[in-house]
Structure 1
């Protein structure tokens, strides 16, 4: 059951977002109604429409908040890994898993609600900021390769983003160890290692 995050005073909009996050964690981004969100926040259904036009509008607000948190975390991870380009690159990958684990409601709204990121300028900007961190990390790493052997940083970051997302979807949900005998972080780290060796950025694993 979702945790009741009742509204008492102050920011009703944020109270509704928090209530919806609990429902998303319990039922998924398409598994709740505005009436349920209002009840969990401790307000009438009519109160929701003071801030949101409908359930999709509420999901967009949650996704935007999620991408802003995500981008901040990615930037912190990138800076923490410097001055080594490899450390920064690997740190951003681990940050992806950490975000998904700590913010499952946001993560599902961002990536599993079927929202069009480009239909909302603020959401698009937040998403671009998060993607841009991984692209910068990839660009710094690719500089170690000769120019004629460098894949586009956008392609490399997309590969790692897809790998991270796959690890989250397949192995980082539910009880730890229930789907694989290895921690998700180890799966991602070894996957990134294989990928970087294929590009010639790491020595062969002998």
Structure 2
């Protein structure tokens, strides 16, 4: 049997990555620091140097997902620094692409009993919840600030009749629904569904 590596330089990151896989596969009840340590070829005690229990590791997994999500949205916005309408469209494409390419993130954050258990684990720790809320707010702020810029520039436009919250709900609901349908393969399409989603967002009904 190969000797376990007790001194991973990047053990914390490895625990988060392997923990995500395990959480997606086995759910909250089947998740444990011991199992994650085994997946990392580390000692059973090694995860406790970074996380005091499995809920803290789950929180770290959530923060990692939200950080990557926020980065993807911000990169989309940055492509069009002077055009809020295009920012919102590109951000919609990025939203769908992110969850289609990472369906385990979608399942963990939004779908099935796993997402409920995930949120419950965060709520057990008030201090940790404050940090988690900040990460969620970062992603939501990118969306809401882009909508605000878009609203400020439209005049005599059909969207100008919508208040900001309604426009956020409309934009978010459209891209979130497409992300779920495509990621779960519930929409049958012979071509590339991501390209079809992009066509819908850029050429058809979205913010025209």
TM-score normalized with structure 1 length: 0.74
Taking the aligned partners of 1:185 and 1:63, their CA distance within structure 2 comes to: 28
2:200 counterpart residue number: 190
The aligned runs of 1:1-206 (5 Å cut-off) are 9-25=8-24, 27=25, 29-30=27-28, 32-34=30-32, 35-112=34-111, 113-114=115-116, 115=119, 119=126, 120-143=129-152, 144-145=154-155, 149-173=160-184, 179-181=187-189, 183-187=193-197, 189-190=199-200, 193-194=204-205, 196=207, 202=208
Q: 1:40-98 deviations in whole A, cap 9, x for unaligned? A: 11123333233223333222111111111111221111110232222111000011122
CA contact (8 A) 1:24 1:105 kept: no
Taking the aligned partners of 1:136 and 1:145, their CA distance within structure 2 comes to: 18
What is the alpha-carbon root mean square deviation over aligned residues?
Answer: 3.0
The alpha-carbon deviation at position 128 of structure 1 amounts to 0.9
The alpha-carbon deviation at position 139 of structure 1 amounts to 1.9
TM-score normalized with structure 2 length: 0.74
Structure 2, unmatched stretches of 5+, are none
1:3 counterpart residue number: none
Taking the aligned partners of 1:95 and 1:53, their CA distance within structure 2 comes to: 35
Greater RCO structure (CA 8 Å; 6+ sep): 2
CA contact (8 A) 1:78 1:91 kept: yes
Taking the aligned partners of 1:41 and 1:124, their CA distance within structure 2 comes to: 29
CA contact (8 A) 2:101 2:183 kept: no
Tell me the matched-pair count: 188
